[in-house]
Structure 1
Amino acid sequence: MTRTRGRVAALLGAVAVITATTLATPSASFAAAGSDRGGGGITGWAPCPDAPEFSCGTLTVPLDHSGATPGTLDLTVAVTGNTAAPRGDLLFLTGGPGQPGVPTIPRMASKLEPVLKDYRLVMFDQRGTGAHALQCPGLQEDMGSSDLAVPRRQSVADCAAALGPNARYYSTADTVADIDRLREALGDRRLTLDGVSYGTFVAERYALAHPAHVARLVLDSVASPQGLDPLDLAALPATARVLRAACRATGCTTDPAADLAATVRRYGDGAKILSALTGYEFIDPDFGGVPEILHEAASGQPAKLQDFFDLVHREVDAAPAEELSQGLHSAALCADSRFPWGTTDTPVAGRAAALERTRQRLTAEQTWPYDPATATGLGSLLVCLDWPRERVPPAPPAHRKLPNVPVLLLGGDRDLATPYELIHQTAELAHDPEIVIVPGAAHSVQNRAANPAGRQAVYDFLLR
């Protein structure tokens, strides 16, 4: 991420850039990486091309785990060098869906360094990500790394056509099956899973599908195991709480929640504002300058609000498919989620009417400081509104408990992407959860938070 520039920098202030140091982990020998821990199913072990202190190999998995459709996929796997780790393998799951894992192993190894004498860190590029990212150029241009940016309908149609019928093999259920292949290839009876954002959903779904193969779970920036809420009814009201907390921290003199509500009423651009705010938390979890921008927009001066949109699109959302594939993102969410019209197995023709009926039923209390049109106008929902009908994998029964293993749920009180209200919902499905909410932290606590309390909680939990 680069610094802000020019006029917008003057409006919003300087953006702090944190550069991760690379952990000097001894490279595992190829024989040790592949045999001492039973990794014979992973081939081609060699130093990772861009991080030779780690070892990379290839796991080959079926395109269709049922075997009905032929074909295979090659998934890149990276590991740190501790092949004799007494606590086994720690699989770190990245977010998205659409973000690869292997390119981030230097950064995550540096963040998790205190536990790497006890664990071997494992990361992999989930199917459809990284070097093998699903490519949808129009959708990538429209959305980049955003969940919520509103795409052009033609971009959605072009993406669905490019992926074709094989799009249905890029669901979370397929990734869960890949992880169990990875576990077997690594020679593990059980895995410790550490997931962030969408990675928490993958970890939860793996734990539900393979409870005997899980040792413990770290869930950072928690998504519900019941799946995405396409209306984002946790994030909409959470915005008021987050902006007011940030306002108190920075000494602003306005009510940003009331100004946001007035801005949405005046301009009707709630989905665009929520998308921008969710992206901006990666730049500044104090949302510096945002209350002033909303106050001016609420009084009829939207120029700085447009500058704010442009800033977030340029500095946060713009990303190539190799960093976050919107093709994979769309295929996975459309396969995984339940929408106002049902699932993606519902005929396309009736979906818009069902969505409109939902909009009419939503109340101001559910959506304030936004409006019902915001909830039904988010990009992650609109992508799937026109997505072609396809068979979707079965979801686990609602409210099924996670396995009886230690679970740490971690979040920041400034997170809009996965507000901490979701932590408390998910905790109800764990047997004895430990909850840590880090003041002043936004999304992805282990990776990004300036406050070290969240990372320390992870170390204590993993080493306990």
Structure 2
Amino acid sequence: MTSTRGRVAALLGAFAVVAGTTLATPGAGFAATADPARAGGGITGQAPCPDAPEFTCGTLAVPLDHRGATPGTLGLRVAVTGNTTAPKGDLLFLTGGPGQPGVPGMRRMAGKLEPVLKDYRLVMFDQRGTGQGALQCPGLQEDMGSSDIAVPRRQSIADCAAALGPNARFYSTADTVADIDLLRRALGDRRLTLDGVSYGSFVAQRYALAHPAHVARLVLDSVVPQQGYDPLDLAALPATARVLRAACQATGCTTDPAADLAATVRRYGNGVQVLSMLTGYEFADPNFGGVPEALHEAAAGQTAKLQALVDFVHQEVDTASAEELSQGLHSAALCADSRFPWGTADTPVAGRAAALERTRQRLTAEQTWPYDPATATGLGSTLVCLDWPREQVPPVPSAHHRLPDVPVLLLGGDRDLSTPYEVLYQQAASMHDPQIVIVPGAAHSVQNRAENPMGRQAVYDFLLK
């Protein structure tokens, strides 16, 4: 495990400081706010960013409740590169989660996107409930770390819901979309080019649906569909067979890891645990080295190697503080945004478990293979929202809404289990002539993590057209 641990350490530093980045006109500041009253007071406190002084940081004040019924404001950290007169305008990079801040990754993403920054001003911000303003749920953070799938303790869910209280309803994607439009106005009231990764791709699409006239281009990396994530993960479950077999072929293994996975789940009923491990392990090794052997032995009754992988991912990969990825924000946003087998967060809690069980009984082996129906209905994020207090949910775009007719690049990796490319192709059907790039050997978050430069080059070419 020594070499893998080293790779994990490097990969988990995805938003660590990258020295030596040189950009045009660093620290030139923000554009004047077109209408400070409309923009929630504009961006204040402009100064060099504490951890990256070549960039300018400030704070955007936004209302806690965009509907105006509940008083209060939030201060969202914002960071920009220089080049306030960039000919192609502002490029807003949206991070994932939900729960991941943007400002700590400014230097990292400026380095990744440097070839386009003579034409764009890069903007990143800490979405509400993240970073220095992270929603704090210590028990849930300990149980889930950075995972969507790990199963938390019910007490951790209850403690988190109690800690957030009724204000949890103000941390939906609709609220972040409204924040982004205030940010756009504060930056100079121009159209935005949006580059979103994972959950950030969902936010980008929701912004484009809500404000189509304010969008110039969209880069959607590791695509979450605009309808929201599937709480049953019925794309990722069967995609596991494709991904593991491709990785096995690439590394010359001689077993069938998909068949061994199916046998393991039948034998031990541990589908959620294995899926959580695999979804985390892709960040350590997109070739899933050691996984086929562990699954083959587990299928034959020897689970030591599989358990070692599960423990490794839990201890070394899926760890994150609330400031790095807030599980409180993650839960509040997903529960507010999503449709579940029981309905939405506005459905009475008492009937949800029965509805989930009816769904499990209706699922077929073909829908969930190489897992089982219990895996589909037992994922951590679903179980968090199963017990989440009832609350009014924000309106969402109609399922038939199409994104505005602007250039769109869809970017995915063929080893991605978090957002498999099957979802990307489904989403492409709702877009006007999208460009699609699938990067061989790449897992989740292509621009940040892929060793193959093909995806980043596609982004440069697309943004500089």
Return the TM-score normalized by structure 1: 0.96
Aligned mate of 1:33, from 9, 30, 35: 30
The offset of 1:37, in angstroms, is: 8.4
Cross-structure match for 2:452: 451
2:32 maps to amino acid: S
Q: Distance in 1 between matches of 2:319 and 2:272?
A: 18
Deviation by residue 1:40-84 (Cα, 9 ceiling, x = unmatched): 710110000111111000000000001000000000000001111
Q: How does 1:250-329 map to 2 (within 5 A)?
A: 250-329=251-330
Corresponding residue for 1:424?
425
CA contact (8 A) 1:139 1:159 kept: yes
Find the counterpart in structure 1 of residue 51 from structure 2: 50
Return the alpha-carbon distance in structure 1 between the equivalents of residues 113 and 66 of structure 2: 32
| 1:359 aligned partner | 360
Task: After TM superposition, list the pairs within 5 Å mapping 1:136-285 onto structure 2.
Answer: 136-285=137-286
* Partners of 1:233 and 1:27 in 2: CA distance: 47
Deviation at 1:377, TM superposition (A): 0.3
How far, CA to CA, are the matches of 1:13 and 1:333 in structure 2?
30
Answer yes or no: is the 8 Å Cα contact 1:27–1:52 preserved in 2: no
Distance 1:62 1:238, change over 3 A: same
C-alpha displacement at 1:306, in angstroms?
1.0
Query: What is the rounded CA distance, in whole Å, between the counterparts of 2:400 and 2:107 in structure 1?
Result: 36
Q: Which residue identity is paired with 1:296?
A: E
Distance in 1, matches of 2:320 and 2:198, equals 18
CA shift in 2, pair 1:130/1:297, >3 Å? same
Q: Report deviation, 1:33.
A: 2.0
- Bigger drift between 121-130 and 181-190 goes to 181-190
Range with bigger deviation, 194-203 or 17-26: 17-26
Structure 1 residue 22 displacement after superposition: 4.8
Aligned residue runs from structure 1 range 325-364, under 5 A: 325-364=326-365
Structure 1 position 28, deviation (Å) = 4.3
How big is each residue's C-alpha offset from its partner over 1:80-138, in whole Å with a ceiling of 9 and x where there is no partner? 01111100000000000000000001110000000000000000000000000000000
* Corresponding position of 1:23: 21
Counterpart residue number, 1:409: 410
2:438 aligned residue: 437
2:27–2:81 contact (8 Å) kept in structure 1: no
Contact 1:64 1:169 in 2 (8 A): yes
SS of residue in 1 equivalent to 2:30: helix
Question: SS of the residue aligned with 1:281?
Answer: helix
Unaligned runs of 5+ in 2: none
Return the letter of the residue paired with 2:239.
A
Equivalent position amino acid for 1:98 in 2: G
| CA deviation after TM superposition for structure 1 residue 24, in Å | 2.3
Which letter maps to 2:23? Answer: T
Which secondary structure state, in structure 1, belongs to the residue aligned with residue 284 of structure 2? coil
1:128 aligns with 2:120: no
Corresponding residue SS for 1:156:
helix
Query: 1-side partners of 2:45 and 2:376: how far apart?
Result: 47
Partners of 1:27 and 1:55 within 8 A in 2:
no
Q: Could you list the runs of 5+ residues in structure 1 that have no partner in the other structure?
A: none
Offset of residue 303 of structure 1: 1.0
- In structure 2, do the counterparts of structure 1 residues 159 and 77 end up closer, same or farther at CA, with 3 Å as the change threshold? same
Instruction: Give, in whole Å, the separation in 2 of the partners of 1:382 and 1:349.
Output: 14
Summarize deviations over 1:237-273 as a string: whole Å, max 9, x none. 0000000000000000100000000000111110111
Q: Alpha carbons of 1:27 and 1:129: their partners in 2 closer, same or farther (altered >3 Å)? A: farther
Provide Cα deviations, 1:173-222, integer angstroms capped at 9, x if missing partner: 00000000000000132100000000000000000000000001000000
Cα deviation code 1:396-443 (max 9, x no counterpart)? 100210000000000000000000001111111111100000000000
Query: Structure 1 pair 384/407, CA: closer, same or farther in 2 (3 Å)?
Result: same
How far off is 1:35 after superposition? 2.8
Give 1:389's aligned residue.
390
Q: Which residue of 2 aligns with 1:65?
A: 66
Partner of 1:118: 119
Paired residue total: 455
Which region of structure 1 is more displaced relative to structure 2, 392-401 or 13-22?
Answer: 13-22
d(CA) in 1 for partners of 2:7, 2:297: 22
Letter in 1 for 2:7: V
Retained in 2: the 8 A contact 1:93–1:203? yes
Which residue identity does 1:332 align to in structure 2? A
C-alpha distance 26-327 of structure 1, shift in aligned 2 (>3 A): same
Distance 1:387 1:433, change over 3 A: same
